[in-house]
């Protein structure tokens, strides 16, 4: 048991404990998240790494770890990892797709509904004692935006996007979609992105963050959205221009937004979205259910176990390393 694996956080699930039967395991026990400055020190002499999306795995770190044989991330997205650098070194990268689509879709639709019906505003109104006998009800009291019968535009028709589309259809919405590459999805009318933005009452973003998608919904695209529309992002921060979004919300060009992900996390206190009443905010909790997080951890462990046994990872983000 001379091989060493570093795990950057205590993980839920059952399979992570199997690692200790195959190697020497060192787990960061906190407090809090592993500081970036400590990752290099803790990873020294290790052949494997099991990490989170909060751990930055870049070329500089990899250059200092010539003995690293595999990386397994407890995340579906891998934008925190320099995948090209790993692939060039022949190092497989595990990730955890396929288990968080429905959970994240639930979060997206919860944000959509909350934004449409002004739930956060109403909650603050009640908690702050502003709901009094003299204003307890009127015909225009906290009126919101109808969901049923509205058009839902889904940007990105992967598993999560399709799960959101199903929820929209169940709510009586007319669902349209756009995907970067052609994908035939039953029940979804596919449109050019510009037409989707112009037609949709609600737009939900479900793309991976890549160099192609970074800033994809910028000022011009947000300005092209249907007046009074609602934008929801549970994909990755950086895809949506937050300054342009805040300006559109403040001016009334957009009705509301639901945001679970930010370009910088934790979100800075001076981010203009925080000052707006018509934004529902969440701290990157799209996949945050007990069952889903345990399943993600089990897949991350399974990827590491396969690598330790000299087998291909069951969920590898750069499978081309096995073709060498």
- Clarify whether 121 is annotated catalytic: no
Distances (CA, A) of 236 to 145, 170, 240, 286, 288: 25, 25, 8, 10, 15
Would you state the structure tokens that stand for residue 300, as one six-digit string? Answer: 């991350």
Residue with tokens 């009074």: 228
Would you state the structure tokens that stand for residue 214, as one six-digit string? Answer: 């970074």
Residue pair 159/101 in contact by the 8 Å Cβ criterion: yes
Contacts of 251 (CB under 8 A, 6+ apart): none
Would you state the structure tokens that stand for residue 304, as one six-digit string? Answer: 């590491």
* Catalytically annotated residue among 9, 167, 284, 295: 284
Residue with tokens 């200092």: 64
How far apart CA 197 and CA 178 sit, in angstroms, is: 10
Distances (CA, A) of 201 to 26, 167, 175: 49, 15, 10
Instruction: Give the chain's length.
Output: 324
- Tell me if the bond preceding 31 is cis, omega within 30° of 0: yes
Residue with tokens 């060498």: 324
* Catalytically annotated residue among 118, 206, 236, 315: 236
Residue with tokens 């996390």: 265
- Clarify whether 242 is annotated catalytic: no
Residue with tokens 């770190």: 61
Residue pair 70/92 in contact by the 8 Å Cβ criterion: yes
Residue pair 74/296 in contact by the 8 Å Cβ criterion: yes
Task: For 168, list phi and psi in degrees, rounded to 5.
Answer: -60, -45
- Clarify whether 284 is annotated catalytic: yes
Contacts of 312 (CB under 8 A, 6+ apart): 92, 306, 319, 322
Which of the residues are catalytic? 236, 265, 284
């Amino acid at each position: 048991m001379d091989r060493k694996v570093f795990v950057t956080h205590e993980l839920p699930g059952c399979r992570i404990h199997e690692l200790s039967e195959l190697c020497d395991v060192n787990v960061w026990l906190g407090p809090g998240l592993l500081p970036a400055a400590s990752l290099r020190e803790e990873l020294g002499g290790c052949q494997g790494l099991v990490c989170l999306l909060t751990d930055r795995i870049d070329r500089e770190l990899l250059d200092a770890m010539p003995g690293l044989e595999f990386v397994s991330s407890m995340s579906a997205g891998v934008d925190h990892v320099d995948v090209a650098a790993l692939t060039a070194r022949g190092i497989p990268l595990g990730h955890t797709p396929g288990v968080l689509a429905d959970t994240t879709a639930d979060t997206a639709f919860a944000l959509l509904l909350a934004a449409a019906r002004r739930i956060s505003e109403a909650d603050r109104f009640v908690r702050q004692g502003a709901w009094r006998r003299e204003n307890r009800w009127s015909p225009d009291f906290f009126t919101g935006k109808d969901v049923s019968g509205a058009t839902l535009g889904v940007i990105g028709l992967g598993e999560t996007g399709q799960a959101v589309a199903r929820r929209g259809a169940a709510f009586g919405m007319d669902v349209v979609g756009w995907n970067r590459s052609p994908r035939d999805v039953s029940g979804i009318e596919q449109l050019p992105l510009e037409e989707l933005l112009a037609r949709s009452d609600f737009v939900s973003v479900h793309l991976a963050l890549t160099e192609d998608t970074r800033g994809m919904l910028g000022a011009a695209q947000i300005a092209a959205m249907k007046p009074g529309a609602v934008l929801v992002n549970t994909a990755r921060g950086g895809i949506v221009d937050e300054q342009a979004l805040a300006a559109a919300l403040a001016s009334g060009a957009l009705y509301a937004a639901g945001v679970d992900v930010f370009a910088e996390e934790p979100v800075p206190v001076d981010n203009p979205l925080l000052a707006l009443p018509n934004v529902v905010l969440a701290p990157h909790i799209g996949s945050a259910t007990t069952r889903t997080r345990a399943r993600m951890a089990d897949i991350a462990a399974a990827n590491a176990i396969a690598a330790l046994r000299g087998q291909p990872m069951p969920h590898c983000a750069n499978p081309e390393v096995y073709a060498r």
